[in-house]
Structure 1
Amino acid sequence: MSDTVPDRLSIYPDSPYFNEEILLRGIGVRFRGEEKTNVEEYCISEGWIRVSVGRTLDRRGRPMTLKLTGPVEVWFKDKADA
């Protein structure tokens, strides 16, 4: 497996940006200098993340999300980080 993080990644299996190997390895996301743990999807080159908002569900039964724009940093988590 490569040591470079993907430019875009999603946690949903039906997304073209889903990658199970990378998600199992562990990804850390920092948005505007703050580490986020509720990120559902991100794109580094476009500078945005999608985060879940409350307990409300969309028509597919997934949590409602909010798209936030700003600087995004992504890294692979070490075993010590987990």
Structure 2
Amino acid sequence: QLRVYTGANGSFVLYEDEFDNYNYEKGEYTEIPIIWNNASHTLIIGDRKGSYKGMLLSRKFTIILQDATQKTVEYDGNKLEIKF
């Protein structure tokens, strides 16, 4: 789930790695930029950067706004723009 609290622009980076070793020090991790544009009420889930052994190649994100509006999207590592 991604929870979005509207009212201003916002962003963060979803970081993932194997969680049980130091391979991230060798560059084995992923980052997914996530940006909320308040003026257009659009959530952008950016292109995934990086990789590591055993990572999820695709996933579902359920995006929930504070007014309980929600959408579920399939993400495969490529940029998505979700308009609310």
Which interval holds the TM-score relative to the shorter structure? under 0.3
**When the two structures are superposed, what TM-score results if normalisation uses the length of structure 1?**
0.25
Please say which structure displays the higher CA radius of gyration: 2
**When the two structures are superposed, what TM-score results if normalisation uses the length of structure 2?**
0.25
Greater strand proportion: 2
